[in-house]
């Protein structure tokens, strides 16, 4: 790495002094080492890599879910001389999405009719048990005025 800012330090735990000059592979989990090769090949072709979701390893060994945006940096003649690498921590977002999927599975598999609605009584969700109890499909119930 050539440069390292405060955001990267907070995300990965390495200070600029510790990481500058080290290979990017230091952040790669053992099962993701091929990603760097694939990313570099795309950058060499002049491509940008945007919102690439992956996992990186912090200084303490903790795995961090990140969304990467990676772009080539060109000199005055247009030759690629470096790579800009921006990482955004999406760990909380991924955990929240997993929790939402678990909750949705619980609601859908419940034998109790579960309906969610807005304060104006507009129906938002209608599970299979509600379909059975009330006789409307979810599509019908959600479209009711």
Residues 11/89, Cβ–Cβ less than 8 Å: yes
User: How is residue 100 written in tokens?
Assistant: 């939402």
Query: For the residues 102-128, what does the mean pLDDT come to?
Result: 92
**Residue 92 pLDDT class (50, 70, 90 cuts):** very high
Its pTM stands at: 0.70
Instruction: For residues 80 and 43, give the distance between their C-alpha atoms in angstroms, rounded to a whole number.
Output: 8
DSSP lists the bridge partners of residue 87 as 68
SS (H, E, C) 81-135: EEEEEEEEECHHHHHHHHHHHHHHHHHHHCCCCCEEECCCCCEEEECHHHHHHHC
């Amino acid at each position: 790495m050539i440069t390292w800012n405060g955001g990267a330090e907070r995300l990965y735990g390495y200070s600029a002094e510790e990481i500058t000059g080290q290979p990017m592979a230091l952040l790669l989990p053992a099962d993701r080492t091929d990603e760097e090769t694939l990313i570099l090949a795309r950058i060499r072709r002049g491509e940008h890599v945007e919102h690439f979701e992956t996992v990186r390893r912090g200084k303490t060994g903790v795995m961090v879910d990140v969304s990467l945006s990676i772009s080539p940096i060109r000199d005055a003649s247009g030759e690629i001389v470096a790579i800009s690498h921006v990482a955004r921590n999406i760990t909380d977002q991924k955990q929240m999405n997993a929790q939402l999927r678990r909750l949705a599975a619980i609601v859908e598999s419940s034998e109790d009719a579960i309906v969610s609605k807005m304060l104006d009584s507009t129906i938002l969700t209608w599970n299979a048990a509600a379909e059975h109890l009330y006789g409307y499909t979810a599509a019908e119930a959600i479209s009711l005025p």
